[in-house]
Amino acid sequence: MYVCICNRYRDAEIRALAQQGVRCARQAYSQLGNGPECGQCLEFAQEMIDTEHLVPAGARAPETV
């Protein structure tokens, strides 16, 4: 599933960075190559990152690709 349409970033990429310790959506985007453009996705991406830090990896639903 795409999280960021402008940059074509997927949920799996955002979750992987969160699991590596990234805690901020802007930081995740920077590590993926480009910062946000329109910014419409940032709140959702941040919620995804926050959830990764709250829910143990084994307790999550399978990721969508």
Q: How many residues bind ligand FES (CB under 6 A)?
A: 10
| 49: its two tokens | 């990152």
Where are any strands of DSSP class E within 1-65?
2-4, 9-10
| Count of other CB atoms within 10 angstroms of residue 28 | 25
Among 6, 16, 24, 48, binds ligand FES (CB under 6 A): 6
By residue count, the chain amounts to 65
Query: Between residues 30 and 36, which has the closer beta carbon with respect to ligand FES?
Result: 36
Query: Between residues 39 and 55, which has the closer beta carbon with respect to ligand FES?
Result: 39
Residues found near ligand FES in the complex (CB under 6 A): 4-7, 36-41
